Amino acid sequence: MAYKKKEDDPPTTDESKTSDKDVDGDNSLVNILIDFIKDELLKSNIRYEIVKPILIYILYYLIPFIILLMFLNFITTIIAVYIVFKYLL
């Protein structure tokens, strides 16, 4: 008695693959992409591509903002001292 395949049976491994060339082609494409990403990461200089833009951001935007806040705090303290000496003493 030979086994007859039913329509409800799941496909075997040979039937689920379209061909071995397609599977190898997919693997080679993935390998090419992985190699390209590795090469780009190894060629990049992290200091100049990541750290330098952050330092420029801090230098040109964050430091002047902090200096402005310090100046405003100083001015409001002077005004508060003036108000205390003028009206309470």
pLDDT for res 26: 65
Domain boundaries of the chain, sorted by first residue: 19-88
Helix, strand, coil percentages for the chain (3-state, nearest 5): 80, 0, 20
pTM: 0.42
Contact 23, 17 (CB under 8 A): yes
Q: Show pLDDT as tens, one digit a residue, over the chain (89 residues).
A: 555 555 555 555 555 555 555 555 567 888 899 998 888 878 777 777 777 888 888 888 888 999 999 999 999 999 999 999 999 87
Helix (H, G, I), strand (E, B) or coil at 9: coil
Core vs surface per residue 34-61: b (16+ CB within 10 A) or e: eeeeeeeeeeeeeeeeeeeeeeeeeeee
